[in-house]
Amino acid sequence: MSPTPIFLPSHEPPARPRDNALLFLARGMELLISERDGAIVLPTGAAFPDVVPAAHYLGTLDGVDCYTAPLARDFTPPEGTTLVPARALYKRLDEVRFAIAGRALAISEWDVQHRFCGRCGQPTQLVAGERARRCPVDNTPFYPRISPAMIVLVTRGDTMLLARNSTLPEPMFSTLAGFVDAGESLEDCVAREVREEVGIDVKNIRYFGSQPWPFGRSLMVGFTAEYAGGDIQVDGKEIAEAHWFHPDNLPRVPPRLSIARHLIDAFVERVKAIPPSGR
């Protein structure tokens, strides 16, 4: 088994050549890649010397510098490379590289969207020493935007509530999720989203973990919660169906990279560790 790659994030570019640096070049939600023997290969600084000077430093991956830069809308991929939707790389990259790709998408998009001040329209300038752009006229700062969202696994005894989203291209059951409203706590968001999407109440809301998610520029904050009452009534908009599932009879669920799968797997382990007499 290959060792897990180590990524050390940073925003301060080191004073060393960038020819061998890995480039996460983004056009919207697409990344520029090539493929070699079925593996994803990222371009290096030597292949794009014109891009490197304006690229944003991300950190090091196993000691190799990583940068990101936005590509123009009319950019034509050189021969041997292609632009692919980053979501398509979800099952083809390990968790560390996929997280770097998500970081790159967010930073490149921030760089494009905040070239001008939203208050006065003046061109903004990069701020030395931090990930920010600032208006030189009214001093307004612009940082990469992150939208907090909750994701929750609701349990009832030795069963878990999984739902099928009506908008997903592939039929799959997963945990419930939703974005946090202004002025709302994460715990309040959990209770509200569960009630809105499947019509039940929950209790004992507990933090589980988090995962950055580039599609929606969000930070997914994971929770577990216990069933407190009510009958399942799906909203019919986002949720097509929802059911209680036992670990021995699971439907198709998300792949292992997702925090949704981490929530499901943790519950499955816990249930199977309990002797039948204790369930």
Binding-site residue ranges: 87, 117, 120, 130, 135, 143, 177, 193, 197, 238, 260
Cα separation, 7 vs 96, in Å, equals 7
Among the residues of the chain, which ranges form H helices? 95-113, 186-198, 259-273
Q: How many other β-carbons are positioned within 10 Å of the β-carbon of residue 154?
A: 26
In three-state secondary structure terms, 218 is strand
Cβ-based neighbours of 169, under 8 Å, separated by 6 or more: none
Give binding residues for substrate as ranges.
87, 130, 143, 260
DSSP class per residue in 12-71: S--SS--TT-EEEEEETTEEEEEEETTEEE--BGGG-TTTGGGPEEEEEETTEEEEEEEP
- 54 by Cβ neighbours in 10 Å (0-12 / 13-18 / 19+) ranks as exposed
Give binding residues for Zn(2+) as ranges.
117, 120, 135
Give binding residues for a divalent metal cation as ranges.
177, 193, 197, 238
Cα separation, 267 vs 260, in Å, equals 11
